[in-house]
Amino acid sequence: SRALVQQRCMLQGAAKHQRSASRMPESEPGLRWATGTGEPISCKAAVAFGVDDLRPTDIVVAAPSYPIAPEDLERAAAALERGLVERSAEARLVLLGAATREHVLLVGPPGVGKSLLCRRLGALFSEHDSYFEVALTRFTTPDDVFGPLSLKALREDVSQRAADGFAGSAEVVFLDEIFRARALLPALLQLLNERTWPDGSRNRPAKLVSAVAATNALRDADDDDDDALFDRFLFRRAVAPVSDAGALDLLLTPTDDDSRDDDAALLAPLRE
């Protein structure tokens, strides 16, 4: 049946990916079957053939494509790590979060470079303003995160936020002390999970690629209120202060300007 052919196509293609990927024509990516004559056809076209006419041993899988070249990812990692000591793992973790469009939670005391890494990540997306950060407290309101109500819109009897420069228009968002803003929990869950944000009576799409959150200490294990928020962060890491062995390196490491023209917009293809 057609369903059987499609299922075998997927299973055989995954099993023989490493062996036969080099046999895939570059101009026609995807899974391939071959007829009894050896002529390659696509999986979609294979459905029109009988199972006995197909040679599943000839299935090949094209190498997966990615919007950013490996050398550009290495340059981005180097830009994040520049001038920092013992922060290679954290730098590559926030880069991995951006590359996979997932969110990162960093747990550590103040002064260990959590916000600096996130600012640098935002600079790699655009030469313009693509970064937003906020220090959350129990008094933080949606206006502080998504923008105040637009006075111009209110004159026209429309409830709409002046959102430029706030979380809804940023590709990288840094949320400091993420577990303190209990009143913002529904809006933050919506932003992180659905990538939309509340604007009056409507939900608008956010430009968010990745959010990095920080906290000085882990939440109380007996507190269930933050479980949903905690689960939104696929990558989590404890960030320790620089060790005694690395303190000398920290003193000898020259200060460096964070911004470099050749690093700007390295991660721009990840917006799509």
How does DSSP assign 168-219, residue by residue? Answer: GG-SEEEEETGGG-GGGHHHHHIIIII-EEEETTEEEEP--SEEEEEESSPP
**Interval 167-176 mean pLDDT:** 93
**Interval 197-213 mean pLDDT:** 92
Reading the block at residue 77, the tokens are 């990692």
pLDDT at position 28, please? 38
- Return the closest-CA partner of residue 106 out of 232, 243, 184, 218: 218
62 burial via Cβ count (<10 Å: 0-12, 13-18, 19+): middle
Query: How confident is the model over 260-269, as pLDDT tens digits?
Result: 556 667 787 7
Stronger pLDDT, 210 or 217, i.e. the higher one? 210
Give rounded-to-5 percent helix, strand, coil for the chain: 40, 15, 40
Q: Would you call 241 helix, strand, or coil by DSSP?
A: coil
Distance between CA atoms of 204 and 166, rounded to whole angstroms? Answer: 13
pLDDT at position 128, please? 61
Strands (E), the chain: 32-34, 40-42, 104-107, 131-135, 172-176, 196-199, 202-205, 210-215, 235-238
pLDDT at position 17, please? 42
Contact (CB, 8 A) for 251 and 104: no
The torsion of the CA quartet 236, 238, 242, 245, rounded to 10 degrees, works out to -100
pLDDT at position 252, please? 76
Helices 70-81 & 114-123 angle (0-180, nearest 10): 140
Neighbours of 202 (CB within 10 A): 10
Mean pLDDT for the chain overall: 77
pLDDT at position 23, please? 40
Distance between CA atoms of 112 and 118, rounded to whole angstroms? Answer: 12
Judge if pTM exceeds 0.75.
no
